[in-house]
Amino acid sequence: MRETEIPRGFKTHLPKEALEIGYIFRKMENVAQQWGYLPVVPPTIEYLATFKKIDEQFEELAFKLVDKQTGKLISVRPDFTPQIARIVAAAFKNEAPPFRFYYRGDIFRDTKGNREFPQFGFELIGVKDIEADAEVVSIIVDILRNLGLKSFQIDIGHVKFIDGVLEEIGIENGKKTQFINLLSHKDLSGIEIFMEENDFQRERREKVERLLELYGKAEVLDAALEIFDNKKAKDAVFTLKEMFEILKTYGFEANIIFDLSERRGMKYHSGITFEIFHPLSGISLGSGGRYDYLVKSFGRNLPATGAAIRIDHIYQLLKRKETLNISLPCDIYIIDMRKELKKAYEVAKLLRNRGYNVARDIVKRPVEASINVAFNKGFKYAIVLNPQNERNRVIVTGRNFRKVIEEGKTIKETVEKIIESLEEH
């Protein structure tokens, strides 16, 4: 192992990439705040039991270690949502809902490929009405549009619709997981083999085949009502129709697709679920849905819904579309040939007060070398004080111009002359 290696599945973000990712986060935070959501910062590490309480698979996904103070297993978070549920149940137990929170940070899962995922999420807790689900989906649309994306789609389904359909077509409890996995992967040959092995007759086969076709705009909801008679499935469709009407009222219906053939989400999801896609990206940009029983497991019975957006996937998409035009925040590089520290500091201070980002060159070398360093680091301008040890002179230089000016009688006057020279270019 080389000294500079890092573990597989982790990544270092260099300055420009870090700035671009920060820009994406800020855009998302601004939209969430406009909808009335407030930030929370959960701890990076919790007791493993907190996550296993929600879903046993976190035992396999989590990075685990032993807490030396308690002897208990702790885990770097593999998911934010259980943390938010715990926070609401513990820190807001005496406050009335609804609770609207957003968060940002990394989740960590010990899997193949990437093992650290930057994520932005938000949760609406304490509202059972379908308007809460519509609000969460609307915020996603608002966020993606604010990032300049247009052709994205949000595939929406319902956990209880699939549960009702499985009841109607007679899938045994012990085989439901297998069949749901086949549906999720759109494994047509696997579904055919499953039906052969389980002696599906014509009517059951037809319903499965028609289930696989329930993908598209709002008309698939009416088609679902014609195909299936199960009350649980029908109630789920009516819920989806109600949400779609709300989205139409907001003007957000254009990006909505209904996929009723798939059970999305985590084990704790209990109602409407969704996933975000874009034609230029072959991977999911985010997901979410309703989880009405999660908060209850921490001691407070509150319904909830929320979403999580994969920042790394959004970043890759925006880079591919070449819409991230974030420049380094490097305006002016000050080079003082006489090393008059107070003077250089005062010039830098006044320029910063005028809104410029200013750094000083504190390495002794020839002036041309310092100017080259400035431009190589992304600075727009270099200012040389006392060039060639000449007092009362300043060189203002950019990539395509150079101007020598006389210093003013005061440092403030000098800075005004510098700014005047910069504005000319």
Per residue in 284-299, pLDDT (tens digit) is: 999 999 999 999 999 9
CATH number of the domain to which 280 belongs: 3.30.930.10
| Over residues 297-316, mean pLDDT | 96
Please tell me the distance from the alpha carbon of residue 295 to that of residue 275, in angstroms, as a whole number: 22
Of 264, 296, 321, the domain-final residue: 321
Do 128 and 222 fall into the same domain?
A: yes
Q: How much is the mean pLDDT over the chain?
A: 92
Q: What are phi and psi of 4, to 5 degrees?
A: -95, 0
Do 261 and 131 fall into the same domain?
A: yes
pLDDT tens digit sequence for 53-94: 888 888 888 999 999 999 999 999 999 999 999 999 999 999
Do 364 and 340 fall into the same domain?
A: yes
Of 264, 299, 321, the domain-final residue: 321
Nearest to 61 by CA among 39, 79, 86, 43: 79
173 domain-assigned: yes
SS (H, E, C) 37-87: CEECCCCCEEEHHHHHCCCCCHHHHCEEEECCCCCCEEEECCCCHHHHHHH
The sheet with strand 73-76 has its strands ordered as: 45-47, 73-76, 63-66
Chain centroid, CA 269 distance in Å = 19
Residues 289, 269 contacting (CB under 8 angstroms): yes
Q: Which structural domain range is residue 361 located in?
A: 332-423
Please tell me the distance from the alpha carbon of residue 345 to that of residue 27, in angstroms, as a whole number: 34
**ω into residue 98 within 30 of 0, thus cis?**
yes
Q: pTM score, two decimals?
A: 0.89
Do 365 and 244 fall into the same domain?
A: no
Do 315 and 347 fall into the same domain?
A: no
7 domain-assigned: no
CATH number of the domain to which 368 belongs: 3.40.50.800
| Over residues 205-232, mean pLDDT | 92
**Residue of higher predicted confidence among 251 and 172:** 251
- Is 90 exceeded by the pLDDT of residue 100? yes
pLDDT at position 389: 64
Residue whose structure tokens are 């085989």: 175
Please tell me the distance from the alpha carbon of residue 291 to that of residue 136, in angstroms, as a whole number: 13
Do 277 and 364 fall into the same domain?
A: no
- Return the structure tokens found at 302: 């509150």
Question: What is the number of structural domains in the chain?
Answer: 2
pLDDT at position 29: 98
pLDDT at position 325: 83
Please tell me the distance from the alpha carbon of residue 231 to that of residue 282, in angstroms, as a whole number: 35
